[in-house]
């Protein structure tokens, strides 16, 4: 079985990248493969933004949260890209004097976390917008 690192570069409503990545990750794990980490980069960090959606609209953020909860796979968000887009966890919100805007289940980290996942994986799969 293979070990995958996944990078999501597309935002939740601008492209199919997040949903395609989620389907890939879910299918890979159900086939017995391992996901080292999912790393959200560029506009992909918007998947970690706390938001309300319409009842009849899919919410990619909650789908990722459920995936992480069910599988234990870490959802890592690029800290530089997140801060540029107004996404703050508790620590960064205190630092910048603002409110928490990152959804539960996501973790801010540097690009080094993606590099680490890529090095320790058989394949890195990138989902672009």
Domain boundaries, the chain: 3-51+59-127
Pick the CATH number of 3-51+59-127 from 3.40.1260.10, 3.40.640.10, 1.20.1250.20, 3.40.50.970: 3.40.1260.10
Give yes or no for a contact between 118 and 87, defined as CB atoms under 8 angstroms apart.
no
Q: What is the pTM of this model?
A: 0.95
Backbone angles phi, psi at 37, to 5 degrees: -175, 150
Q: Tell me if residue 78 is catalytic.
A: yes
Q: Where does residue 111 rank: exposed (0-12), middle (13-18), buried (19+ CB within 10 A)?
A: middle
Give the dihedral sign, CA 20/22/27/33.
positive
Strand partners, 78: 109
Kindly give the confidence (pLDDT) of every residue in the chain, 129 residues in length, as a single tens digit, with 9 standing for 90 and above.
999 999 999 999 899 999 999 999 999 999 999 999 999 999 999 999 998 777 777 789 999 999 999 999 999 999 999 999 999 999 999 999 999 999 999 999 999 999 999 999 999 999 999
Instruction: Indicate which residue of 78, 82, 102, 103 is catalytic.
Output: 78
Where on the phi/psi map is residue 86: left (φ > 0), alpha (ψ -120 to 50), or beta? left
Strands in 75-78's sheet, in edge-to-edge order, are: 106-109, 75-78, 34-40, 3-8, 123-127
């Amino acid at each position: 079985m293979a070990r995958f690192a996944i990078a999501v570069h597309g935002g939740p409503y601008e492209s199919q990248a997040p949903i395609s990545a989620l389907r890939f990750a879910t299918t890979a794990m159900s086939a017995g493969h391992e996901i080292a980490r999912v790393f959200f980069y560029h506009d992909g960090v918007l998947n970690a933004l706390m938001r309300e959606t319409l009842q009849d609209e899919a919410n990619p953020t909650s789908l990722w949260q459920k995936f992480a909860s069910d599988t234990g796979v870490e959802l890592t968000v690029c800290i530089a890209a997140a801060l540029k887009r107004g996404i703050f966890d508790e620590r960064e919100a205190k630092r910048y004097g603002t409110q928490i805007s990152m959804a539960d289940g996501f973790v801010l980290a540097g690009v080094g976390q993606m590099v680490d996942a890529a090095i320790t994986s058989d394949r890195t799969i990138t989902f672009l917008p």
